Structure 1
Amino acid sequence: MISKWLWTLRSILRQLWVRVAAYAALAMVAASAAPTLSPLVPDGWGDVLGDDAVDSVLTILTTAMLPVTTFSLSIAVNAYSAAAQTATPRAIALLQEDPTTQKTLATFLGAFVFAVVAVIGLSANYYDTGARVILFLASSLVVLVVVFALLRWIGYLQDFGRMENILDRVEEAARDSLNTRLDMPYLGGHPARDPAPDYAHDIHADATGYVQHIDVDAINTWAEDAGAQVWLAAMPGDYVTPGATLVRVNGPAPPDTGLDEVRDAFAVDRQRSYDQDPRHGMIVLSEIASRALSPSVNDAGTAIAVIDRQLSVLLDWRARREPDVVFDAVYVASVEPLDMVDAAFRPIIRDAANHSEVLERLILAFQVLRTRAPEVFDAPVGGLLDDLDNRVARSDGLSDWDLDRINRCRE
């Protein structure tokens, strides 16, 4: 488990502007450091290159890189918009955090900043003959880096933002989140097999939004200092409002400072996060399938692709082992198979009631889950199959042939 400040720092570092700003700052340092390296240039190199050599390279960079950066940024924005319209707005965050896109835009803008700073330095006679040689070599290296980034960007754009690309990203995020949670099913605390005592004190939220991250270490430290035990009542992915219970405390009534310490351990924001919330990835996948099954889209193939990916993620489920208790004063509920399969498949069952091919793939996925881990998925899948049967029986969009195929799948 990572602390809240480290999680916040990691979230900031995923943003586009951070990488772009870092590359721009590095470019400014590189352009400004040429005079420092001037003594290393052998005599006569400046005469070989000539005074105008570096000017020509910098002119190319200054005139070309800003339009290239703007055009590339517009491509990324269009991809975000297309993802919101064809998949779901909840998938945009994964595209925005794409490292290849961020590196490409940062490289283009960094090259432009480098050239602008170098041109200003040349105009101010900041560079002597040796420094101009260093600047020429650095500019040539920047051109090579830009060409490589441009070639990689062209190849990358063939898939970036397309439906398969979006599905792959959401599947990976859902898989990583689920595996992380299965590795620490109780977030490092004790399993909350029994509820907190009735006389426990409640600590309530003072903000509105989704729980994105919980700093269990900070809660455990506070509880040990206070001589208390803490049951987490709000988990990552839960929606809380002022007055909603965050934790229940078995111990002395916490002072105001203790209330603030516990509340600060919860990161609450308007959007859900994939990191500690394995259900979120499954919900986003089901949203994509629901949109694909809408009458305006009618794309059963995408819905089937979503089911295949959800099945692949759920097949990673491992039997629970005795937890490694790191935080002795904290009690945490685990993620339940019922919650995962409901988030994944129940909306699709609702929207696929008139699509026999999608219903057949759902039945196949349920059979695989039951066969692979009956002790985990038998009961949750049984409830979903009952729901599927009820909706099929009430559907007026399935022919006798469709019903026959569905019944054969159930056998």
Structure 2
Amino acid sequence: MLRWLGAYTASMVGDSVYFLALSWAAVRSGTPAQAGFVLAVGAVPRAVLMLGGGVVADRFGPRRVVIGGDAVRCAVILGVALALALTTPTLWLLLPLALVFGAVDALFLPAVGALPPRITGPGQLARVQGMRGFAQRLAGVAGAPLGGFAVAVGGPGAAFAVAGALFAVSLPLLLAVRIGPGPAPGADHADQGAEERSRGDAGAWGELRAGLRYLRGHRVLAPLMVTVAVGELGFAGPLNIGLTLLVQERGWGADGMGAIVAAFGAGAGLSALLLTVRGRIPRAGLVMSLVLCAAAGCVAAIGYLPTVPYAMAAGALIGLLAGLSGALCWAVLQTACDPVYLGRVTSVSTLISVGLTPLCYPVVGAAVGLWGAGPVFLGCSVVCLAGGVIGLWSTPLRTAELPGAGSAP
């Protein structure tokens, strides 16, 4: 498990350095509008191909896809670093890079989400999600300064080289990870395959339809996806564009913004550490939904708090509660899902959080401009609360449990 954690951490730090290098190179290569276009263009293949990435992960195995994804990212980014050593960055170089990186991410992200059940037993899934969250926080803290130092020393090309080297570090670690067997070809899975073929679900498109049909009919996963979607819609706007506009409205400045974001990161890191140490949380479905409801209250509060210290406290609570709820969500998903469909189900959850929730940013921004930050944060908290209520309303999800630590893989 430590090899997987090292590989995942190196890959996440590489991601952070890559995005900083891409942003810097794009700003230096064109107008602000063109730079924004370069940064946005990678999101298109990521969103369009994400569900197909789940099919690929289920068909070829998540470990193979993750290794291939890191290998491709390493080769492409090192190639760009070499090109920048010979010439200056141009939009015609950065645009294909962003497109390729987004397309690889569409395959990589579902496979990363589907990998934990193959490297550990069911009773350790919450602990693995805690480790994963801690690695993400570490990447956020370490990646930006590392990328900034590389840019200062050698320009964007040096930063791309650092990102490529980090992806290269992850490869031998991933190759050394011990992985459990894939889904056994038993009677249940044979029956599933026969049923899918009888419905004409052959080929990639048919496999995707079969996965969506499985998700829609699952007693735990279907309400879980609705809970995730509604909860993310309530969180994403306020904690991204909304927080920036709130700080501007209150006149708290960049220092205030940084302090609140740091408090949020500290809370999220604490939740990851708690899960890493604790491992299993009893009554996971109930705790996940209750914690989401509590986090919704903190979202409402931060829109009306008068000073930065109070907002920092609310931000830390949001990070703690949202981190705990999100990790439990992933653990429940990986426990409840049939391994045959895990990549496809993971791709739906990832698409919700990565591909769809950013669509609410313009709406939140326009609403803050019309009514101010307080009412918008309150409205978003109601949306978030609705996600928690959906989780509590669903008896199968509310009563979902994680296996004990002694459960076999």
Q: Give the greater-gyration-radius structure (CA).
A: 1
Q: With structure 2 as the length reference, what TM-score do the two structures score?
A: 0.22
Structure with the larger RCO, 1 or 2 (CA within 8 Å, 6+ apart): 2
Structure with greater helix share of residues: 2
